[in-house]
Chain A
Amino acid sequence: MTNTEIRSVRPEPAGPRKTRGPRQSREPSESTTSTTPASRSRGARLLAVLFLAPTVVGIVVFTVVPIVGSIALSLFQWDVIEDPRWAGAANYREILTDSTVLVSFRNTLVFMVLAVALQLLIALALAIAVNGRMPMWLRSVFRSAFFFPLVLSAASLSVVMKYLFNQDFGPVNWLLGTVGIPSVPWLTSENGAMAAVVLAYVWQQFGFSFLLFVGGLNTIPKEVHEAASLDGASGPRKHLAITLPLLSPTLLVASVVGIINALQVFEQPYVLTAGGPGDSTRTVVMVIYETAFEQLRFGEASAVGVLLFALIMAVTALQFRLSRRYVHYQ
């Protein structure tokens, strides 16, 4: 399913692909290979094994085994020093009654909703605006500007943001002051800190959705808009009635990727607020990091990880299910 989603965003690399009838279908099923000489296919099979080995072995060792390991580990109590002790569901019981863990899940969900909504809105508005009539060079200047923060390090930028959001000397409050907004306690109040983390994250990330939308808008034929203009549709109406439905596959990808990424937020709260004030910006990944690598409680950390994984799966599945109703494929 990810397969078709991604392909819908960007057409496959251009290039003359000559299909010579149905026999040449890209995924030869069943016995089409029986026509090739045995020697050739034996060589090809050997080559396939050699070519796949690094990737498949790597994925098994560094992803598949660790997933199983995480689930297993979540059922044990282990601090590395002593031998692991069977804990059954005790770790889960513990984390589900731990207020810090529960708050971190709430924070992460609040963060996700705010960050993804803001990111998609900004990216969509900018992509539509950039797609309008303007000289080529100007378009590429805007495109580069909006995706520039994406190439920088989230950790370094969070260091910068810490100064920008300083209540007394920070340029953000100064800028707000010039339009008459009184100073905001960004990093020292609970709501301010969450807002700062969201803004810092969205500022760095919106370029990602922006690029997806620019790509998606390019696949909409110009004639569709022209026809709508002839019928007397206004700008906003054209976008609501035509652009959005035609862009819905891209919107789906952008929101799925946006949500998966947002649920894993770490650098911004870690550097910007260290989870505070109180636990107000402590996220699930921060809790996993602290539990495992600061307190050496590997079992509990794994249990939190498994819950996060389940949450990501559930949200993604829900999204694909809901999307059946409103995503239109051309």
Chain B
Amino acid sequence: MSTTSLTSPAASRVRHSLAPLTRIAGLTLCALLTLGPVIWTVSTSLRTPAESFDLPPRIIPGDATLDAYRGVFDQIDVWLYALNSTLVTALIAAGQMITAGLAGYAFARLEFRFKKPLFALVLATMMVPLQVTMVPVFLELKEIGLTDTLLGLIVPAFPTAFGTFLMRQYFLGMPKDLGEAAMIDGAGPWRVFRSVYAPLAAPGLAIVGVLAFNYHWNEFFRPLILETSTENLTLPLGLVSLQGNLGTGSISVVLAGVVLSMLPAVAVFVVGQRPLREGITSAGVNR
């Protein structure tokens, strides 16, 4: 990206010619350290119990085996937890895209009373830590009988202050003339939204959806509090319980479970890297 500037004196070009190599070597080392624990997890999950504590850790297992993965499926109901996680995560992501899309549009393009205070309220809730509201939310959900249900996990996660803020910025970035032209042609406010602006919002909604998927797939605190029955656990909880059940020698099984739970997150990372990065770069106060 940064090309050698034509104006820079020859001396500085010589001085800098070695620096990039050491810098890139340093970055490579840091990248290896960053990915190291993940690589170790994958390789250990493929080892036999006897080899699992080998030091130095061998990246390529002596005789790779999928026994540990079979062990995970034997010990916990991976399919059920994966289904629960998928259901919860997908519904929250869809719900957030809808609520944030609608509210973001209203704040960006519609006129109504109390717009500023309402928007300030939405922004302010970004600052409220989850733990402060969790006890009363738990009691509310208990009152309406939603504790220990997946629905109790889903519904409170629908409104998203950060998503609303993001979508407002997105709609504000679109030219006003489009909507005005449609209005002159006789379109009402709903038509303007539905036919003109909503289709343009897809990339912004993708950011909201991918962020929601990533956050809620990995969520631990709320499910830990809300879900008590084994059949309502999500994957992260199932995994931690897997670790508790074990107590025996093989760590391969636990790590195989970790790898299984990572797969969808990795898939989202590969497919949705750009939206994820953009969403986080625009300051995810969300997490």
Please list the residues of chain A having a beta carbon within 8 angstroms of any beta carbon in chain B: 2-3, 5-7, 9-10, 12-18, 24, 26, 28, 33, 36, 40-41, 43-45, 47-52, 54-59, 61-67, 69-70, 73, 126, 129-134, 136, 138-139, 141-157, 159-164, 169, 171, 174, 178, 203, 208, 211-212, 214-215, 222, 226, 229-230, 235, 253, 257, 260-261, 263-264, 266-267, 271, 285, 288-289, 292-293, 298, 301-302, 305-306, 308-309, 312-313, 316
Contact = CB atoms under 8 A, between A and B. Distances in A.
Given A13-B170, A132-B2, A146 B31 contact: yes
Given A9-B283, A159-B243, A152 B38 contact: yes
A222 B2 contact: yes
B23 to A, nearest CB: 5
Interface string B213-231: 0100110110011000000
A45 B161 CA distance: 21
B82 to A, nearest CB: 13
Chain A interface mostly: helix
Chain B interface mostly: helix
Contacts of A150: 280
Contact of B20 (A9, A10, A57, A132): A132
A2 B123 contact: yes
Given A12-B173, A47-B189, A289-B224, 8 more contacts: A48-B112, A64-B125, A133-B4, A146-B31, A151-B269, A203-B37, A260-B127, A267-B221
Interface in B165-193: 165, 169-170, 172-177, 183, 188-190, 193
B156 A62 contact: yes
B106 interface: yes
14 contacts: A7-B169, A12-B169, A12-B172, A17-B174, A56-B103, A62-B140, A66-B134, A146-B30, A153-B218, A174-B56, A208-B280, A212-B280, A305-B135, A309-B129
Given A6-B283, A148-B35, A155-B218, A301 B2 contact: no
A267 B100 CA distance: 28
A48 B110 contact: yes
A223 B88 CA distance: 49
Interface of B: 1-2, 4-5, 7-9, 12, 16, 19-20, 23-24, 26-27, 30-31, 34-35, 37-38, 40-41, 44, 53, 55-57, 98-100, 102-103, 105-107, 110-113, 118, 121-123, 125-140, 156, 158-161, 164-165, 169-170, 172-177, 183, 188-190, 193, 204, 214, 217-218, 220-221, 224-225, 235-237, 239-240, 243, 251, 254-255, 258, 261-262, 265-266, 268-269, 273, 276-278, 280-285, 287
A52 B139 contact: no
A59 B161 contact: yes
B261 to A, nearest CB: 5
A155 B133 CA distance: 21
Given A51-B103, A55-B100, A69-B136, A153 B23 contact: no
